[in-house]
Each structure stands twice: as C-alpha cells, then as structure tokens.
Amino acid sequence: MNDSPDNSQLLKDLLNRVEALEREAPKDQLTLGVVSGDLEHTMAAFMIALGATTFDTEVEMFFMLRATAALRDPKKTEGATLDIEPSPVKFDLKKHGAMSLEELIKMAGEVGVRITVCNLSIDLMGIKREELIDYPHLSFAGVASLIDMCSQSKQCWFM
C-alpha cells in the first residue's frame, strides 16, 4: 500500500484552486464613494481618480447625497456655476497650473473613469437626470451597485 500522494493529482488540485482564487480576486480597480458636496472633496476625488488611471487602475466613482450636485451642468440649470458648496479656501488654480473641476471631469471622461449616480440621492436632492453633465461613462444605480463595485475592487475610498 502506497501512502504517498499522487503528484499529478496534487498539481491538478492546486491548479484548480489557483484558478478559483484568480476568478474571485478583486480587479485592479479603485472605487471612490463620493458623498461630500464641497469643492475640495470633489476636486480631490477626481484628482485621485486620474492619478489611479496613470497606474492602469480602473476607476469607478459612485456619487451620492450632496456630491451629486457637483455633476449638475450649469448650462442645463438656472445657476451660472456648478451647483456645489462654495469653498472656504480660495484656490488660485491658474497660478499653480492646476485644472479646474470642469477640466478634471472632462479629463476623467477621456481616460475612462466611470461615474455612477445614486438614483435615490438625485431624487432627494431634487436633481433631474437631464440637468447632469454630458459624460461618456455615466450611469445610474442604487446603493447595491456601490456594494458590488466595492466587492470587486482592490481599494475602496469614501470622500
């Protein structure tokens, strides 16, 4: 009677386990839950998103609550500027060669950052879908989608 394990069977079992782990492993993806409605947090979220894309990381942004106001298009609403909480900090973006929020959003769209807007949040905030920015990777979903995004991502941040 031979008690030594069959090496070929052990190898097959290990390969099957590795394949299963790879299927279940999180993607090289960052999920950003954006909940704050102020300019600093919104700009920071887009800066982080763009920074992550430079490392070939996929980025999902989930906007909810007051942050949804940052996605309003001033040309589609009565306001003359983005409907976002004013910043207590005075930014001199041009002096430092920094992009404006509008420029950050445009670049994020160009590099494939996906934005999902919380259905309940825009209803609570009184925002209509047609008032939002034209963005190539914009979708609408509930919080369950955020949970799913987080479960598939290597990193999840909330701002």
- Tens-digit pLDDT profile for residues 22-57: 777 677 899 999 998 888 899 999 999 999 999 999
Question: What is the C-alpha separation between 108 and 49, in angstroms, rounded?
Answer: 7
pLDDT of 81 reads 46
pLDDT of 87 reads 59
What's the CATH fold of domain 26-158?
Hypothetical Protein Ychn; Chain: A, (3.40.1260)
Query: How many CB atoms within 10 Å of residue 99?
Result: 15
Distance of CA 155 to the CA centre of its chain: 11
In the DSSP assignment, the letter for residue 113 is -
Q: Where are the alpha helices (H) located in 7-142, listed in sequence order?
A: 7-24, 39-53, 101-111, 119-125
pLDDT of 80 reads 40
Read off the tokens for 130: 């047609």
CA atoms within 13 A of residue 121's CA, in its CB half-sphere: 23
Question: What is the C-alpha separation between 158 and 30, in angstroms, rounded?
Answer: 11
Q: Which residues of the chain have pLDDT under 70?
A: 1-5, 25, 79-93
